[in-house]
Amino acid sequence: MNSPISGSAAEGAYDRLHPKIRRWIRDQGWDELREIQARAIGTILDGTGDVVIAAATAAGKTEAAFLPILTLIAERKGGGFSAVYVSPLKALINDQFRRLDELCEAMEIPVVKWHGDASQAEKKKAIAKPSGIVLITPESIEAMLTRRPGDAARLFGAADFIVVDELHAFLQGPRGLHVASLLKRLDAMAQKPARRVGLSATIGDLNQAMAWLRPTAPQTVDLLLAKADAPELRLQIRGYVEPPDLDDPDHAEGSGQDVQAPRRIALDAICDHLFPTLRGTNNLVFGGSRRTVESAADRLRRRCEKAGVPNEFYPHHGSLSKTFREDLEIRLKDGSLPTTAVCTSTLELGVDIGSVKSVAQIGAPRSLSSLRQRLGRTGRRRGTPSILRVYVREPYVDVKSSILDQLRSNTIRSVAVVRLLLAGFVEPAAPSPETVSTLIHQVLSVIAERGGIRAKPLFDLLCGPGPFDSIEPADFAQLLRHLGSPEVRMLEQAPDGVLMLGSEGEKIVQSRDFFAVFESSEEWRLTAAGRTLGALPISFPVHKDSLVVFAGQRWIVLDVDEGGKVLSVAPHPGGMVPRFEPSSGEPAHDRLLAEMRAVYLDNDVPEYLDKAAQELLAEGRDTFRALDLDRRSVIQEERDLHLFVWRSSQTTAVFGAALGMAGLECGIHDLGVTVPKTTSAEMLPILEKLGSMSALDPMDVAAFVKNVRAGKFQDFVPETLAQKQWALQNGQFVGTATAIAKTLR
DNA sequence: GACCTGCTGCGGTATG
């Protein structure tokens, strides 16, 4: 049989694969290897170092990594896993298992799924005879190290490769710090450190990815970038204005939440457009919050009922039970019934749901990396376009309204985001404020793993180049002393200096929720006729006869089990949409604010705006000009003073903290800060003083920052260490804040 | 003015 692979480079790559892999490729009916796959085969077979493979979704990254890896490990038998694949999602492990299992079976290489829902028997088998490939979550690696330290080295210590999937998901946040630390610890127990292969779709700064993958030698990481061949993009931005005096833009249609006479809110009009536009095809609607998702899904279901047609709109978010979510994912992938999922960010990455016809977004986006990921769900078949509809909600305004509302910043932001999307911009990863909290977790974990360890080898194992590089020996000593203090009792020190777990540390490590480095909140479990619907935040006020909209249906609470934290419900026509826990918003990048300013200054009216959005854009620009915001940045509005900063959320927050030092409490928004009950006459000398401080010490600003501590173990982080870390991560923004103060006028 | 992610080991019982 002739080689099915065309192109000389690809042909060469194909010929170098293991004969059984070549047969499998022919059996798949593939007529060519993708370019990224051919290049990965060359790099992995010829090289000895680490590799980052960055390519669009559905470009065949998994095969790009595993075809050459399997070729190299084909002849290895037993003696530990040959390759460790780390994934942030169980669902992704299940998908990859289906893709790898058949190929590996042909090669007689075992593959084992290793996560909380995976078969105990399979895991036991692998512990007895570890071999081949393991597909595992970070938390399961953590559990292995702390609960079976004797087995860990035998299982992982001989691996030739560690593959990290969805690498971009680990470039920031506590879980990224956690996995990076686990990689170091796996290296420390290995006879020879494994080669690392990172797989990713959207990465804003590739240097960050290389540094994350091999902190000791980022420049040695081979980088394989797939040429982007993005499908044609069709897009529309639609504008909607809320009615006057609205207190809840997500309330349930025709419910008691609508206290005054029922009236139409923006969400009603948005769903009036979504219903006929999306019906009959598969789509994703991103709602932004679980509350908006429930409210919109409920409206769309009612429109189906009214039209006398079967419902095809279903909610999907993290509080819904697994069964609901999986049923919907299967229905989307299967494709025999038209289906639209109204979701939060749950369907943004990972799980295989096939290609959808269009993506809709309720509310103006703020993050390019997330919008890109969402768009990647459409236009996956050759020749079909990506379709994106953005539904922008703006408040009602009249002469008494705040200028912040009159500036129509949501509409402006939508236009700016589209411009940056077309320009190919993606935000880099932001620093993670959970550093010390995650270090505490790893300190406890290493002590549990080894039974006890002295401070110096503990520091050498965890710190230095890598996730905790910013922790100096003196910081580490301070942290250990604090953890060992009589008030904390996380650690104890034996007379010979060996650190061991204290009574509190023992309790924490033994608990079932030790393995994850992120927090989880307490919730009510919601059941109907014995079936679990999902979970509601414990803060949601409930009592018998409460009405609730959940899982796309309306319910009445029959019974409240305080002890078991269970709510029993039954279908009911009324219902309130529950409020979930609020937290801080998605951060905006400097470049987005610069682009928003450019949109205000320009005169072009993009043709992708509907008539209402065009009017909102014009209103925003008129207000911008009337206030002369091109030249002015300090605007008095009655007793409030607005300072227009035009910088990232992080810079604006630091600027706000610097004002806090001067005794001014202020509110922070996209465009800048608002200081209540202050005049520009009072403000100008303060700004002048701030601007003249050439060396404002970030440590001094840190003292005025609320929530300087973050993460699961934030209560155990010494305040001064938290402030020092904040100053390290925000020092550059403090400098920017003084520079901003100089320019405001 | 937000979202998402993860989970051991034991003892009990039922089933092939």
Written in H, E and C, the secondary structure of A17-47 is CCHHHHHHHHHHCCCCCCHHHHHHHHHHHHC
Closest CA to A274 of A233, A247, A240: A240
Asked if A221 and A313 sit in the same domain, the reply is no
- Using the C1' atom of nucleotide B8, identify the protein residue whose alpha carbon is closest: A512
Bigger pLDDT: A541 or A561?
A561
Contact yes or no for A368/A425 (Cβ under 8 A): yes
Closest CA to A469 of A100, A254, A728: A728
Q: Is A133 exposed, middle or buried (0-12, 13-18, 19+ CB in 10 A)?
A: buried
Q: By mean pLDDT, which of A384-388, A559-563, A659-663, A694-698 is the weakest?
A: A694-698
- Using the C1' atom of nucleotide B3, identify the protein residue whose alpha carbon is closest: A345
Closest CA to A168 of A351, A354, A430: A430
Mean pLDDT, chain A, whole residue set = 91
Tell me what percent of the residues of chain A surpass a pLDDT of 90.
68
**pLDDT of A623:** 97
Nucleotide nearest to A146 (CA to C1'): B8
Nucleotide nearest to A142 (CA to C1'): B7
Alpha helix stretches (DSSP H) within A308-367: 322-334
Whether residue A54 is contained in a domain is answered as yes
Asked if A212 and A112 sit in the same domain, the reply is yes
Query: A153: how many CB neighbours lie within 10 A of its CB?
Result: 17
Which of the listed residues A389, A423, A457 is the one where a domain comes to its end?
A423
* Mean pLDDT computed over A134-142: 96
Is residue A2 very low, low, confident or very high in pLDDT (cuts 50, 70, 90)? Answer: very low
Asked if A698 and A559 sit in the same domain, the reply is no
Asked if A30 and A136 sit in the same domain, the reply is yes
Nucleotide nearest to A345 (CA to C1'): B3
Look at residue A139 and tell me whether its pLDDT is greater than 60: yes
Asked if A276 and A183 sit in the same domain, the reply is no
**Alpha carbon separation from A657 to A64, A172, A704 (Å, rounded):** 47, 23, 6
Bigger pLDDT: A187 or A55?
A187
Is residue A744 very low, low, confident or very high in pLDDT (cuts 50, 70, 90)? Answer: confident
Is residue A287 very low, low, confident or very high in pLDDT (cuts 50, 70, 90)? Answer: very high
A187 SS3 class: helix
**pLDDT of A3:** 47
Nucleotide nearest to A325 (CA to C1'): B4
Asked if A458 and A493 sit in the same domain, the reply is yes
Contact yes or no for A610/A241 (Cβ under 8 A): no
Asked if A472 and A359 sit in the same domain, the reply is no
Parent domain of A671: 632-744
Look at residue A58 and tell me whether its pLDDT is greater than 70: no
Nucleotide nearest to A139 (CA to C1'): B6
Contact yes or no for A717/A709 (Cβ under 8 A): yes
Is residue A9 very low, low, confident or very high in pLDDT (cuts 50, 70, 90)? Answer: low
A492: domain CATH number is 1.10.10
Tokens, residue A659: 């004002």
A492 CA from B12 C1′ (Å):
37
**pLDDT of A257:** 53
- For helices A473-484 and A455-462, the axis angle rounded to 10 degrees is 120
pLDDT tens digit sequence for A476-526: 999 999 999 999 999 999 999 999 999 999 999 999 899 999 988 888 889
How many angstroms separate the CA atoms of A545 and A109, rounded?
Answer: 57
Look at residue A255 and tell me whether its pLDDT is greater than 70: no
A528 SS3 class: strand
Asked if A70 and A145 sit in the same domain, the reply is yes
Nucleotide nearest to A288 (CA to C1'): B2
Q: Where are the beta strands (DSSP E) in A99-142?
A: 111-114, 133-136
Which of the listed residues A537, A554, A571 is the one where a domain comes to its end?
A571
A99 CA from B14 C1′ (Å):
34
- Chain B nucleotides reached by a protein CB under 7 Å: 1-10
A332 CA from B4 C1′ (Å):
20
How many angstroms separate the CA atoms of A295 and A312, rounded?
Answer: 15
Asked if A201 and A60 sit in the same domain, the reply is yes
Which of the listed residues A225, A258, A293 is the one where a domain comes to its end?
A225
Whether residue A203 is contained in a domain is answered as yes
Whether residue A594 is contained in a domain is answered as no
How many angstroms separate the CA atoms of A332 and A472, rounded?
Answer: 50
Whether residue A603 is contained in a domain is answered as no
A187 CA from B11 C1′ (Å):
36
A594 CA from B2 C1′ (Å):
23
How many angstroms separate the CA atoms of A55 and A633, rounded?
Answer: 42
A448 CA from B9 C1′ (Å):
16
Look at residue A322 and tell me whether its pLDDT is greater than 90: no
* Mean pLDDT computed over A28-40: 91
Hey, which of A85-89, A224-228, A582-586 has the most confident mean pLDDT?
A: A85-89
A331 CA from B2 C1′ (Å):
27
Asked if A405 and A541 sit in the same domain, the reply is no
Whether residue A139 is contained in a domain is answered as yes
* Mean pLDDT computed over A698-727: 92
Closest CA to A275 of A250, A239, A300, A238: A300
- Using the C1' atom of nucleotide B1, identify the protein residue whose alpha carbon is closest: A585
Amino acid making up residue A205: D
Whether residue A353 is contained in a domain is answered as yes
The residue count of chain A comes to 745
A531 CA from B14 C1′ (Å):
23
Look at residue A163 and tell me whether its pLDDT is greater than 90: yes
Q: Is A276 exposed, middle or buried (0-12, 13-18, 19+ CB in 10 A)?
A: exposed
Nucleotide nearest to A124 (CA to C1'): B9
Alpha helix stretches (DSSP H) within A192-234: 206-213
Whether residue A612 is contained in a domain is answered as no
Nucleotide nearest to A413 (CA to C1'): B1
A584 CA from B1 C1′ (Å):
6
Tell me what percent of the residues of chain A surpass a pLDDT of 70.
96
A119 CA from B16 C1′ (Å):
18
* Mean pLDDT computed over A629-636: 94
How many angstroms separate the CA atoms of A542 and A548, rounded?
Answer: 9
What are the two backbone dihedrals, phi and then psi, of residue A661, each rounded to the nearest 5 degrees? -60, -35
Bigger pLDDT: A475 or A251?
A475
Residues 6+ apart with CB under 8 A from A520: A513
Look at residue A1 and tell me whether its pLDDT is greater than 80: no
How many angstroms separate the CA atoms of A297 and A551, rounded?
Answer: 8
pLDDT tens digit sequence for A366-378: 999 999 989 988 8
**pLDDT of A24:** 94
Look at residue A48 and tell me whether its pLDDT is greater than 50: yes
pLDDT tens digit sequence for A582-600: 656 788 999 999 999 999 9
Contact yes or no for A371/A417 (Cβ under 8 A): yes
Is residue A7 very low, low, confident or very high in pLDDT (cuts 50, 70, 90)? Answer: low
Asked if A400 and A474 sit in the same domain, the reply is no
Whether residue A589 is contained in a domain is answered as no
A370: domain CATH number is 3.40.50.300
Total domains in chain A come to 5
Asked if A460 and A322 sit in the same domain, the reply is no
**pLDDT of A725:** 95
Tokens, residue A573: 């026509």
Is residue A542 very low, low, confident or very high in pLDDT (cuts 50, 70, 90)? Answer: confident
Instruction: Provide the total of helices (H) and of strands (E) in chain A, helices listed first.
Output: 26, 24
